[in-house]
Amino acid sequence: MKLALTATPAAPLTAPLLVRGPAEEALRLAAELGYDGVELHLRRPEDIDRVAVAGLARSLGLGIPTLGTGMAAGEGLTFAAPNPEVRRRAVARIREHIALAAELGSGVTVGLVRGRLGQEADARAAARQAFVDCLDECCRAAAAVGVTLFLEPMNRYECDYLYTLDEASAVIDELGAPNLKLLADTFHMNIEDANLTTGIARAGGRLGHVHLVDSNRWVPGYGHLDVRGVLQALAESGYQGYLSFEALPLPDPQAAAREGLRTVRRILSGVGA
Ligand code: LER
Ligand code: MN
């Protein structure tokens, strides 16, 4: 398994991301510390100099496993929005990220951008269908340029559907798109999934990306997550992708990036992965 830190040119301090500032600086820090990649969270693709970032990542031997897209939801752009024009703009935004991902060799995350279904039963059903249709359109656009989308279950305090790996797996199976994979975030799983290790085992080959983060949303090693159990389950499921530290920059960004890497590398070697 490979390790990535998370970085953003612009996101609120409360967002669980390690490094803030120009993407090039995050790439240099990742290379210096010994990471394999950097997961970038962008409001829109123009937030970075795509040619410079692609060239620097290549020259440093770093991957960019996925582009985080949640900031679109902060602008009100979501797949489940009742207004079709808003949904069209949400899909257009994700398609911009897909085009960038094709250049960077990365995937694209579908997390907060899926939006909320609301309380009323009929409206919920319509909003869920709108979400599935938008996701299907994005899967087709991504497949045309060889990009994978990662669908991320999230906890009940941040969204109102698709909380567990099982629920997101059902959507993946419903769409049947080979380029739609599951993003398992251990912070959300710790709240919603009844059992992390059996949840990972059931997700199996659908797993495409992992946000490895402790119970308190700090990097692994600072909370009470059974990091070894999770890594063992991932290894047993045959997972070979990235573990991204989508964590709060605490006690400070450098220490979090350094200590998280040290902890997880040590445990990985202990489980033979
Ligand atoms: C996004 O990856 C995520 O985990 C959400 O909770 C957004 O903060
Ligand atoms: Mn996450």
Residue indicated by tokens 């445990």: 267
Is the shortest distance between the CB of 16 and ligand 1 below 6 Å? yes
The torsion angles phi and psi of 224, rounded to 5 degrees, stand at -115, 20
Alpha carbons 9 and 19: distance in angstroms, whole number? 8
pLDDT in tens, 54-92: 999 999 999 999 999 999 999 999 999 999 999 999 999
Tell me, yes or no, if 152 is annotated catalytic: yes
Mean pLDDT of the chain: 97
Model confidence at 12, pLDDT cuts 50, 70, 90, reads confident
Mean pLDDT of 27-55: 97
Model confidence at 272, pLDDT cuts 50, 70, 90, reads confident
Angle at the Cα of 249 (from 258 to 199), degrees rounded to 5? Answer: 85
Tell me, yes or no, if 137 is annotated catalytic: no
What was the pLDDT predicted at 143? 98
What was the pLDDT predicted at 273? 82
Give the whole-number percent of the chain exceeding pLDDT 90.
Answer: 96
Mean pLDDT of 129-157: 98
Which residue of 42, 152, 189, 248 sits with most ligand 1 atoms within 8 Å of its CB, as the best mutation to test the pocket?
Answer: 152
Q: With 80 as the cut, is the pLDDT of residue 11 above it?
A: no
Q: How far is the CA of 246 from the centre of ligand 2 (A)?
A: 6
Which residue of 40, 116, 158 sits with most ligand 1 atoms within 8 Å of its CB, as the best mutation to test the pocket?
Answer: 158
What was the pLDDT predicted at 13? 81
Q: Which ligand is nearest to the CA of 8?
A: 1
Q: Which ligand is nearest to the CA of 155?
A: 1
What was the pLDDT predicted at 171? 98
Q: With 80 as the cut, is the pLDDT of residue 42 above it?
A: yes
Is the shortest distance between the CB of 24 and ligand 1 below 6 Å? no
Is the shortest distance between the CB of 211 and ligand 1 below 6 Å? yes
Candidate list 24, 96, 192, 246, residue with the active-site label: 246
Q: With 90 as the cut, is the pLDDT of residue 14 above it?
A: no
Q: Which fold has domain 2-271?
A: TIM Barrel (3.20.20)
Alpha carbons 259 and 255: distance in angstroms, whole number? 6
According to the 3-state scheme, what is the secondary structure of the chain? CEEEEEEECCCCCCCCCCEECCHHHHHHHHHHHCCCEEEEECCCHHHCCHHHHHHHHHHHCCECCEEECCHHHHCCCCCCCCCHHHHHHHHHHHHHHHHHHHHHCCEEEECHHHCCCCCCHHHHHHHHHHHHHHHHHHHHHHHHCCCCEEECCCCCCCCCCCCCHHHHHHHHHHHCCCCEEEEEEHHHHHHHCCCHHHHHHHHHHHEEEEECCCCCCCCCCCCCCCHHHHHHHHHHCCCCCEEEECCCCCCCHHHHHHHHHHHHHHHHHHCCC
Mean pLDDT of 135-153: 98
**Measured from the CA of 185, which atom of ligand 1 is nearest?**
4
Mean pLDDT of 133-156: 98
